[in-house]
Amino acid sequence: MARLATGATATLVGLALAHPAGAAELVIEQVTVVSPQLAAAQPKQNVLVRDGRIVSVSSKPVSAAAGAVRLDGRGKFLTPGLMDSHVHVGDVPGFPGGADADPAMGAIRDAYVRQQPRSYLYYGVTQVVNLLSTPDAAAAFEAQPQHPDFYRCAATFVLDGYPSVFIEDKAIRYRAMPDFIYEPASAAEHPLPAGMDAAQHTPEAVIGKLAESGVRCIKIFIENGFGPASDWPVMSKETLQRVRAETRKRGLLLLAHANAIDMQRLAVEAQVDVIAHGLWNWNEYSTDQGVPPAIATHLREIHAKKIGFQSTLRVIAGLADLFREDTLKDPAYAKVVPPSLLAWYATPAGQWFKEEVRKGLGGVPDMKAMHTYMVISSYGMRATKYLSDLGHPLLLGSDTPSAPTFGNQPGYDTYREMRMMAQSGVPLPAIFRAGTINNARQFGLDKEYGTVETGKVANLLLLTANPLETMRAWTSIDRVILRGSVIKRESLAAPRE
């Protein structure tokens, strides 16, 4: 909880600067409370917030200190702030690696770094879990004056496996990444680089080191390749067992990147806590409609074993959006993307990833590429609906950005993830729980977040529509309340540069 304390201090400093002295109390009057622990929306409630926490929720009038901030809640809905449990704060969407060495590109990156946390808040995301980025990127995110409460995972992977290995221009390349696990079993093909000590790359040593950095979860990658590549090394069953044992011993959640049926089966077998992707690669079980028995059996096992599940539908949709003619003209983009970055996306240089992806698809035209990804998306959507129909408590995780695509944008993608869950057939109350209490419980943060209740952190949203009745509620945010500090939504939009 040391991290939380740090974040809280920073936010309270911001609060003190943003409001005159004595305004540490907030009363939201005559508001309709919508919260996961309530069977129905509760009208005419008065909510008292002091020092960043909810002190009381009651139908009776509350007495607040003189100088308390008062919000008229009549005709409005008060909900917990959203939590996105799968983000990557280090990556500028659409930037090629190393691009920011150029000063002009560096300036664009800086504008993004300033806006990113505000874009999350603009869409009501008041808590994020960062799964893998550099420590510098995490620090830059937390250094911004307004930012969602920030939680971190660390990641480990097998030497020469994903994401150390990647494909560029159809060639296999490797990134230098320090926290790998060495598989002695694959030593013949992937020898330990010279000068490295195998003893520092056992599951126990790597997880021990990562645990000491104050993370609350460990993410592993169960990925043997994309498209034609399907022979990248993955962790052996023995290594997976040791990773599971060590994370349990240290009280860390274990998350798995896996989006193909064979990879997700390994994740289930390894008893991971959370599968950090939807299931859109059905391999030999691919079919135009419905959910075949093999896929259904796997999804039922996820449900029976209470494994957390992030659908991350925006991963594939964010690729489809590369080829959608109106993506950059979407008015929401102007709200969450700095103008300099938005302008760069429209240049030939800004289209590099689109062209790379097109090449990977055999040079097809835009419509065909978009269609390809929409078909892949439909698998993930069917799997999501199947789990939802089982009553599985889904987790809201957008994986922003999941690739260097301008189709993924902070905050807006969290909203679009929810919208795709709705399009998949997930009922609105289940989507609401996915973004609030389910995420809070899964990450051990339900004492702090997830409901509008006494004692919880006052990360709240004042909406002009009821999110249990319409998705429009999430685009009709009136105020974002961050640790008791009231922020007008429009003030969080990207400034004109």
Query: Contact residues for Zn ion (CB under 5 A)?
Result: 399
What minimum distance in Å lies between the beta carbon of 158 and Zn ion?
Answer: 17
Q: Is 35 or 377 the residue whose CB approaches Zn ion more closely?
A: 377
Chain residue whose CB lies nearest Zn ion: 399
Q: Is 223 or 399 the residue whose CB approaches Zn ion more closely?
A: 399
Q: Is 219 or 358 the residue whose CB approaches Zn ion more closely?
A: 219
Q: Is 399 or 417 the residue whose CB approaches Zn ion more closely?
A: 399
What minimum distance in Å lies between the beta carbon of 85 and Zn ion?
Answer: 11
What minimum distance in Å lies between the beta carbon of 430 and Zn ion?
Answer: 22
CA distance 219 to 174: 19
Q: Is 400 or 451 the residue whose CB approaches Zn ion more closely?
A: 400
What minimum distance in Å lies between the beta carbon of 91 and Zn ion?
Answer: 9
What minimum distance in Å lies between the beta carbon of 131 and Zn ion?
Answer: 5
Cβ count within 10 A of residue 377: 23
What minimum distance in Å lies between the beta carbon of 84 and Zn ion?
Answer: 11
CA distance 161 to 298: 24
What minimum distance in Å lies between the beta carbon of 200 and Zn ion?
Answer: 26
Q: Is 208 or 225 the residue whose CB approaches Zn ion more closely?
A: 225
Contact present, 294 and 260 (Cβ < 8 Å): no
Dihedral sign for Cα atoms in the order 357, 222, 192, 91? positive
Tokens of 474: 């999430």
Q: Is 166 or 285 the residue whose CB approaches Zn ion more closely?
A: 166
What minimum distance in Å lies between the beta carbon of 159 and Zn ion?
Answer: 20
What minimum distance in Å lies between the beta carbon of 293 and Zn ion?
Answer: 29
Q: Is 28 or 129 the residue whose CB approaches Zn ion more closely?
A: 129
What minimum distance in Å lies between the beta carbon of 27 and Zn ion?
Answer: 39
Q: Is 388 or 402 the residue whose CB approaches Zn ion more closely?
A: 402
Q: Is 375 or 403 the residue whose CB approaches Zn ion more closely?
A: 403
